[in-house]
Structure 1
Amino acid sequence: MTAENRYQALPTDLRTVPAVARLLRRLGLGTLGHADVVSHIGRNDNWAGTTSTGAAVFVKRLGGPPEDVRRRLAAVLAYEDLRAQAAGTALSGPRCLGWSEEDHLVVFELLPSSRTGAELADDDAFEPGHAHRTGEILGALHALDPSGAVPLDTARPPLPPLDHFTALPLERYRTASFAELELWRLLQQDEELTRAVRRLRAEESRAPAGPVHGDFRLDQLLLDRQTLHLMDWEELRRGDAARDIGAYTGEWIHRAVRKLPGGAKDDVPARGARELARLRPLIEQFRNGYRSVGRTLDRGLLLRSAAFAGWHLIDRVMAGAAQRPALTPVERAALGIARTVLITPEAVTTTLGLED
């Protein structure tokens, strides 16, 4: 939701989406000029800019199959119900200014001077204080609504897709890139990894359930002046806190792995270890922030979090593979690391900084 950043995309022409203008007028926010908006990379059409009344807005149109769009919009609106419980906690985000269920549109306030957590990390500007605050934010979220008063989605999360470890659905196979097919071939042939993923899903189903973000990445964090926000609530549900903790941890493993390509081949393990050691304080401070709001990190939660960090790494490799004809050497290295983390999470919780 930043006005200017490196993750921009070409916006869909607003003249082809008249529902945006209708909704903004209904909300009393004026109109957006066709040539004065920017868009940000993501799965949804979106427009960011200043309206004719001077309102800074971020408009999102949820896309995809109708049933999935309805589910995700319901999650966004459910978060608005949770916000009342979040008053006085670390949890905050851009205000929702209105929505249209019929047109699958949601309008948020735009924070023009903000930067995402991913941008900060790209510039090595994501500091231990940001990590601590992120822990506080997710800890506050996970503690909300203990009575279950807010109707959140309780369906089993779709990822990891257990059936895909046996065979890909025909349509998924038909539309996959060669790199994706190569990735799934490797996963399906790895019986030990498949057992670990199935074990994780079984443990998750038995874990305590509370509000979870469900799709955490560093680009879901937004730093506006000195305030860190969490946004994008389309996958909000009632589930296992380990998903969010693992996703945060997995983001830093992924960034460490991305540092591997340069240098001599036999230096790769050493460079990877050095990079993980450099990033470890960002996980330690996250853990401290999470605990500071009264959340407990018991052994089971730590092990599931580590395992979910391994899955998050695989998921990031999948996202990259969708754009390529073959897996790169660093993606193969990432799969090896993810495999180790998923199969033996008890061996890496200390290395990753999830515990001392």
Structure 2
Amino acid sequence: MDATEQASPMTRSSDRVMQAAPLDRPDEFVRAVAALSGVTPLVEGMQGYIGRNDNWRVPTADAGDLFVKRLRGEERQVEARMNRLLAFQELIATHPQREAKAVPFYGADRSQSLLVFGHLPESRTASDLLGSDEFTPDLAHRLGRVLGEVHQLPKVPVDIKEFIDGKALTAFYALSPEDYANCSGGEVEAWAMLQHDKELVQALERLRSLSADAGTTATHCDIRLDQFLLAGDDVYVIDWEEFRYSDPARDVGGFVGEFLHHAAARMFAELDVEAGLSPGAAHEAILAAGELQMEKIRSHIARFWEGYQELAEVDSSLEVRATGYAGWHFFDRLLAGAVHGARLTAAERGMAGIGRNALTQPERFAPTIGLQRG
């Protein structure tokens, strides 16, 4: 349940592209990338992408462009993320998928925390398609099959220990003085809202317990719509730095949570409650607006769930746990956005309420959003 926003490295949206910052040691960078890829990178033409890591599109003198990532963060975190990603690359190299293609991977340089991939020209993320109303229920069905196939990958003996973030374990009860001092005003409000809601904290503890008792599969553990790239007829799933064997509901909930968050954000953006309405009438207007947006995405979630069940083994309570994780997705996004704000907005608080309903009442919420057995 990481509250850190992790941006996709291969997103094609123009608002994520920027001029590449000068390299500290360009000669070392060139040698490392050339050694891994077998081609000569041209640093003068590099293009950067916004994200928590250093991400670049790197042209070459000999072939097509490369995508190069340098992992950033505390040393233990970088090592853990590197190990997970390399474990997945090793797994997928011996167990190729039918529903999705693997991005060409050239290798890693641990000394520089570098990873080198092939660049995917003219690709779009599923998030882009949803935002432009081009994401169809049939595409949702296909991505359900993609994720279902991932969850059927065999278990192999890999050393991908869980990295425990001390703040994540304790912040639901109290922030340390150091964490409090480093929080923005928006973060302080968000954590206070969580800590003072005992029913919500109990729901999170219940979800963690249910998840710990569930069967494990190969899981992405950071599924968002911008982790799905589409290039022509091909689908790619990227950013495997959180890969591990875990509860598959984490991935299903991440996918569903993206749709729910999109619907809620659009509802609040388009909401126009007439001045002078009584509180009861205003509440009814908000509910009607929410149902309108829910109706637009319910078929997508249902079709995704159908596709997923066609390939994955689904236990008796997976949809309930997935609904809980979909609810957590709202708080994940809330905490990520609060880093940049002095106060929480009314819309952010309202969206947190939607996430709370999914977390505290997942059995009732699951069929409402399209997660029900045939």
TM-score, normalised relative to structure 1: 0.93
Where do 5+ consecutive residues of structure 1 fail to align? Answer: none
Identity %: 34
In 2, the alpha carbon distance for the partners of 1:90 and 1:323 equals 38
Quick one: distance in 2 between partners of 1:347 and 1:117? 28
Q: How far is the alpha carbon of 1:2 from its aligned partner?
A: 5.0
- TM-score scaled to structure 2, two decimals? 0.89
Alignment-mate amino acid for residue 245 of structure 1: V
Amino acid in the other structure paired with 1:60? K
The CA deviation at 1:33 is 2.9
Deviation digits for residues 92-132 of structure 1, max 9, x if unmatched?
23111121011100011001110111111111111222211
Distance 1:195 1:87, change over 3 A: same
1:263 corresponds to which of 249, 271, 286: 271
* Alignment match, 1:278: 296
Taking structure 1 as reference, are residues 150 and 11 closer, same or farther at Cα in structure 2, changes over 3 Å only? Answer: farther
Residue in 1 that maps onto 2:210: 203
Matched, 1:33 2:40: no
Q: 1:118 to 1:181 in 2, by over 3 A?
A: same
**In structure 2, what is the equivalent of residue 306 of structure 1?**
323
User: Aligned partners of 1:70 and 1:18: how far apart in 2?
Assistant: 24
Return the structure number with greater relative CO, CA threshold 8 A, min gap 6: 2
Decide whether aligned partners of structure 1 residues 250 and 350 sit closer, same or farther in structure 2, where only a CA change above 3 A counts: same
How many pairs were matched up? 352
Deviation of 1:16 after TM superposition, in Å, equals 4.3
- Give the letter aligned to residue 130 of structure 2: A
* Cα distance, 1:273 vs structure 2: 1.3
Structure 2 counterpart of 1:269, which letter?
Answer: L
Q: Which of 134, 137, 151 is the matching residue for 1:142? A: 151
* Corresponding position of 2:231: 224
2: CA distance, partners of 1:18 / 1:329: 50
CA deviation digits over 1:205-230, x for unaligned, max 9?
11101210011111111001111110
Indicate if the aligned counterparts of 1:43 and 1:63 stay in contact, CA closer than 8 A: yes
Cα deviation digits, residues 69-96 of structure 1 (max 9, x gap): 1110111111111113432421323111
2:279: which partner in 1? none
Q: Match of 1:84, as an amino acid?
A: A
Match of 1:166 in 2: 173
> 1: CA distance between counterparts of 2:144 and 2:317?
18
Query: 2:100 matched to 1:82?
Result: no
Pick the aligned partner of 2:221 from 214, 219, 225: 214
**Aligned positions of 1:97-136 closer than 5 A:** 97-136=106-145
Is the contact made by 1:257 and 1:330 (CA closer than 8 Å) also made in structure 2? no
3-state secondary structure, aligned to 1:161: helix
Q: 1:93 to 1:160 in 2, by over 3 A?
A: farther
2-structure distance, mates of 1:74, 1:210: 18
Aligned equivalents of 1:220 and 1:82: distance in 2?
Answer: 19
Corresponding position of 1:233 = 240
Task: Indicate the SS of the match to 2:335.
Answer: helix
Q: Which moved more, 1:82-91 or 1:124-133?
A: 82-91
Secondary structure of 1:204's partner? helix
Q: Distance in 2 between matches of 1:152 and 1:290?
A: 28
Shift of 1:173: 1.6
**Alpha-carbon distance in structure 1 between the residues aligned to 2:164 and 2:316:** 23
Task: State the distance in 2 between where 1:82 and 1:132 align.
Answer: 25
Deviation at 1:271, TM superposition (A): 1.2
Cα separation, partners in 2 of 1:133 and 1:320, compared to 1, 3 Å: same
Q: Is this contact kept in 1: 2:77–2:163, CA < 8 A?
A: no
Amino acid at match of 1:353: G
Instruction: Report how far residue 10 of structure 1 moved.
Output: 4.1
Instruction: Note if 1:58 corresponds to 2:64.
Output: no
Q: 1:245 to 1:38 in 2, by over 3 A?
A: same
The Cα offsets for residues 118-161 of structure 1, whole Å up to 9 and x where unpaired, read as: 1111111112222112111111111111xx32415252775993
Is the partner of 1:282 in helix, strand or coil?
Answer: helix
Match of 2:339 among 310, 322, 328: 322
- Counterpart among 309, 332, 348 of residue 291 in structure 1: 309
Check the 8 A contact 2:11/2:226 in 1, yes or no.
no
Query: Which residue number corresponds to residue 185 of structure 2?
Result: 178
SS in 2 for 1:251: helix
Match of 2:361 in 1: 344
- Note the C-alpha offset of 1:324: 0.9
| Equivalent position to 2:54, from 36, 45, 49 | 45
Larger deviation, residues 9-18 vs 81-90: 9-18
Unmatched 5+ residue regions in structure 2? 1-9, 274-281
Instruction: Select 1:249's aligned residue among 252, 256, 260.
Output: 256
Match of 2:29 among 20, 31, 43: 20
- Please state whether the residue corresponding to 1:202 is helix, strand or coil: helix
Q: Report the AA paired with residue 206 of structure 1.
A: D
Inter-CA distance 103–195: structure 2 relative to 1 (3 Å threshold): same
